[in-house]
Structure 1
Amino acid sequence: MILPDSITDKFKGTFPQLLAAIAGTLSCISDGMQYGWTAPVIPKLLADDSPFPVTEYQAEWLETILMLGACCGLPLTMYLVDKIGRKGSLIGSSSTTLVAWIVIAFAPCIEYIYVARFLAGLAGDTAFVAAPMYIAEMADQKIRGFLSSIIYLMMLAGVLLVYCVAPFVPLWVPCIIGIGFNSITLVALPFMPDSPYYLLFKDKPDEARKALQQLRPHGNTEAELKDIAVAIERQKSEKGRPQDLLLVKSNRKALMIMVWLNGSQHMSSISVMLMNLHSILEEAGAVHIASSTAAIIFSALMFCAAMSASLAIDNFGRRILLITSGIFAGLSLGVIAVYFTLQNWGYEVVQVSWVVALAVMCYAAAFKFGIGLVPIVLTAELFPAKMKAIGMTISDACYVGFSVISLQVYHQLKNSFGIHVPFYIFACWCFGTVVFTLLFIPETKGKTLEEIQFILKGEHRTELESSQNSSENNRTDRTP
């Protein structure tokens, strides 16, 4: 009886926030579909019955174009989230992705799909910066971790959906599904409140009050509005120049944490796994399994693990999930590396090749339980209001950059020294993330965004409480 009561208390009065979070992230299902679209679709484009002629070289560019769009979207994202707001950026992103799906559905040749994929990458970059900002700034701290993780759940649902549907239907069917999700977003999101932090930052106190009342219908909105206003004024008084990411200690620490965690997401081999899963299993001599089936199982395990982590993140904290994930993902990759080492030395290991398939699936669950989920939560929590746009955009740039680096590390080392070598590196990076978490990453569970800034500045909890108590006493002394 204790667990249901605690869950009920945790979510009590937060339905408007949950509704806003779902409306703000629903289009991320479409973005996830775009991310996973090439795996099941490229074989169809290369087949004899392809709707138009496509060479292997042209097909290889379909993934690269998406990442190029994401890179080009970085400066635009940094501008939009502060200029038109978090909600406005999400509406613009969803509109762009909708156009991309329409172009793909009616594309008469591969060049049209290139344009659509570029637009999808640009829009996806905007969504994955604006959505965490929107949620972190409007959510109650007791459920902020859960709500912030919804964006990854939506993305994984999109990957799983396109893996399940695209191999078995005409090319236009996934487009219709993607258009549907974006259309729902464009209908629902305009009715949701904008971020109170953003509205106060833009000197719109009346709109901020109205938004907060919508989000906290039973809360003390005036008191919270004052706290947010104080935090905004303090953060406005601080410099917001790009170089202050390095010159200001708290910003520098936040940036260091996010660069490492975004690097860890790819240097723990997730892009390598997603794009080379079947070839890895084939090289291991594992029991033959259709590539579409392996991809579905892999993505389903990631989704289930991410769902479990999203429910646990506000109860157990961010650090414990990162540590647990790093240990088990590292062990799974280590098993794969040892297997390929023995194979490379000439040992007959094909009889236990099932170990590789098992390790790959264990990795999928372990990765998404922490390393693949927690960074998206922390990235919107660690940067102050004035540095949030540039800080999160640079973090996103690192995410894109490390995806390319991890793929190059895998292919270059595999071709030069054997497939076991990159897996040793990926395993070591996972264990390095465990050490990094223990040494540098603060626990943000249950903390307000203002408290997190004090922690990054190195102020002790007792000092912060003393300052708050002193402020409360002063207000009490002035009460007649």
Structure 2
Amino acid sequence: MGALENIKDFRKYSNQYLAAFTGTLLTFSVIASYGWTSPTLPILLADDSPLPITSDESSWIVSILVLASIAGPIPTAWAVDKFGRKYTMLFAAIPTIVGWVLIGVAQSVPVLYISRFLSGISYGMQYSSMPLYLGEIASDTIRGSIGTLLTVMAKAGILVEYSIGPFVGFRTLAWISVVFPSAFFILFMWMPESPYYLLAKNDQTSAAKSLRWLRKRDEVDDELNMMKSAVEKSKQNKGTFRELLTAGNRRSLIVVLGLGALQQLCGSQAVIAYSQQIFEEVQSGLEAHESSIIMAVIQLVTATLSSSIVDRAGRRPLLLISTSGCAIGTFIVGLYFFLQQQGVAVQSVSWIPLIVIMLYIISYTIGLATVPFAVLGELFPANVKAVAAAMYTMFASAVGFGVAKLYQVISDELGTYVSFWIFALCSSLFVIFVYLLVPETKGKPLDQILEEMRFSQNRSLTNCCKRGKTVKL
């Protein structure tokens, strides 16, 4: 009976899932460019490299993409309200297409740098526009699973790079990879624009048409009126960066920026970008690329599971479990590398870090990799969602650049265990952050979430004032 109901639900929401899946092909393409480094860097660093690079150059190849992603949200925050969510996302595919082509013809390291920079622009643009689009096309009951589809597609992109990269040349891998953003561009042109954006442009006819297609029904007047009311309220305040600092939005901003920092400081990006090199140090008995492929499969399966339970289990429980698991996992892996560096015979237990890294990936993917994007689309009014998404992406990318660049430096100078213990410490501290500040938004209408966030902040202000304290948010 449950399976039958699930089939009926999927049919009911199939157009929403289709639009979300087609849109997140862009995510697939952009994150594939990040996963590209794991199978490629060992090839480029090898003695018989087709394009020799140094260890320092390898860290720049990883981190330039993240650094460039900081710039992506700047034009996106303006473009999503000027040209729409749909056309901004289509434009975001162009730099990554060019980036893959440059890798395909690259004969020098600077060309690789340029290609990574362009892919980084796409990375920043899609992460500051995609959550906005997904949050606005989804019904309340499936908004969480629609939002987490972004991460499912990201993990699928990583899996493809990990699976193909070790068996083909790095230029061939680029020519294969360029197919994905090209497919997104062609298919997404046929998807509808966000009805919220169309209402903001006073195009109620197109908004109704878009909503009818998404909901697969003709009677959408009630929901359309609710959307129209929300848009009219949002127009009362101008959507600027300054607006994010108003009393109604400050707590939401603190929450999403904290989650953005946590996504990076738990070590996930370093593990993804340098996975083959990490597994080579572990010496578990499996080939490094085999371990990386297994890890990518686990990521994809876990992300898919998370997308199906985020609207049932809730946001807070998944985040708390995820952050705690990352803290424990990175501490244990760091301990293994520490003992290894001290000359302790750890060969007999080399399976432990392999298993722990897999459990770490499960912990990360089930919560931290998926839930923040769902939360990002829920905590802000429509007039500042684009600005909030841009701020989130820029902040997370800045932190991510530090992680991507410094991981190799710290590991080379002090030891890999130091990097993993830093990740463990950061994750432990953020368990407290999630417990105290992140709200539960499961199954709640967007208007109710916004009211609860304002009420919670006002109550905190009132309580602090009663105690005679000055509050700074």
Query: 1:141–1:445: 8 Å Cα contact kept in structure 2?
Result: no
Report the secondary structure of 2:12's partner residue. Answer: coil
User: What does residue 463 of structure 2 align with?
Assistant: none
TM-score, normalised via structure 1 length = 0.87
Deviation at 1:59, TM superposition (A): 4.2
Equivalent residue in structure 1 for 2:268, among 257, 267, 270:
270
**Kept after mapping to 1: 8 A contact 2:63/2:405:** no
Is 1:303 the counterpart of 2:330? The answer is no
Q: Tell me if structure 2 keeps the 8 A contact 1:149–1:373.
A: yes
User: Which residue identity lines up with residue 103 of structure 1 in the other structure?
Assistant: L
RMSD of the alignment, in Å?
2.6
CA pair 140-105 structure 1, distance change in 2 beyond 3 A: same
1:255 maps to 253
Q: Partners of 1:309 and 1:402 in 2: how far apart?
A: 25
Q: Displacement of 1:46 after TM fit?
A: 4.4
2: distance between equivalents of 1:182 and 1:412? Answer: 32
Matched, 1:99 2:111: no
Over residues 250-294 of structure 1, what are the superposed CA-to-partner deviations in whole Å (9 max), with x where a residue is unaligned?
A: 31111111111111111111123224445545555x424322122
Q: Judging changes above 3 Å, is the alpha-carbon distance between structure 1 residues 220 and 435 closer, same or farther for their aligned structure 2 residues?
A: farther
1:28 maps to what in 2? 27
Identity %: 32
| Residue pair 2:39, 2:276 contacting (<8 A) in 1 also | no
In terms of mean alpha carbon deviation, does 148-157 or 423-432 score higher?
423-432
* Count of aligned residue pairs for this structure pair: 457
Post-superposition Cα deviations, 1:77-97, rounded to whole Å, max 9, x if no partner, equal 222222211100111112332
Aligned positions of 1:430-469 closer than 5 A: 430-458=427-455
2:399 is matched with 402
Structure 1: how far apart are the matches of 2:53 and 2:228?
Answer: 56
Residue 307 (structure 1) shift: 0.9
Give the partner amino acid of 1:320: P
Specify the alignment match of 1:352 in structure 2. Answer: 349
Change (3 A) 1:451 1:282: same
Ranges in structure 2 where 5+ consecutive residues have no aligned partner = 458-473
Does the 8 A contact of 1:264 with 1:433 survive in 2?
yes
Q: Which moved more, 1:90-99 or 1:409-418?
A: 409-418
Distance apart, 1:48 and its partner CA: 6.1
In structure 2, the CA distance between the partners of 1:234 and 1:366, relative to structure 1 (3 Å rule), is same
- After superposition, residues 9-408 of structure 1 pair within 5 angstroms as 9-47=8-46, 50-51=49-50, 54=53, 57-218=56-217, 220-246=219-245, 248-281=246-279, 283=281, 286-340=283-337, 348-407=345-404
Contact 2:101 2:178 in 1 (8 A): yes
Looking at structure 2, the residues matched to 32 and 162 of structure 1 have their Cα atoms a distance apart, in angstroms, of 10
Shift, 1:412, TM fit: 6.5
Name the CA shift for 1:282/1:191 in 2 (closer, same or farther; >3 Å). closer
CA distance in 2, matches of 1:342, 1:44: 28
The answer on whether the counterparts of 1:326 and 1:433 sit within 8 Å (CA) in structure 2 is yes
Q: What CA distance in whole angstroms lies between the structure 2 residues aligned with 1:325 and 1:426? A: 13
How much has 1:302 moved relative to structure 2? 1.2
The list of structure 1 runs, each at least 4 consecutive aligned residues, that deviate by more than 6 angstroms after superposition, is: none
Any stretches of 5+ residues in structure 1 without a counterpart?
Answer: 461-480
**TM-score (normalizing by structure 2):** 0.88
Tell me how far 1:381 sits from its aligned partner: 1.7
Contact 2:37 2:273 in 1 (8 A): no
CA change 1:290–1:15 in 2 (3 A) is: same
Contact 1:259–1:395 (8 Å) recurs in 2: yes
| Cα distance in 1 between the residues matched to 2:256 and 2:194 | 23
User: Following the alignment from structure 1 to structure 2, what is the Cα–Cα distance between the partners of residues 38 and 408?
Assistant: 13
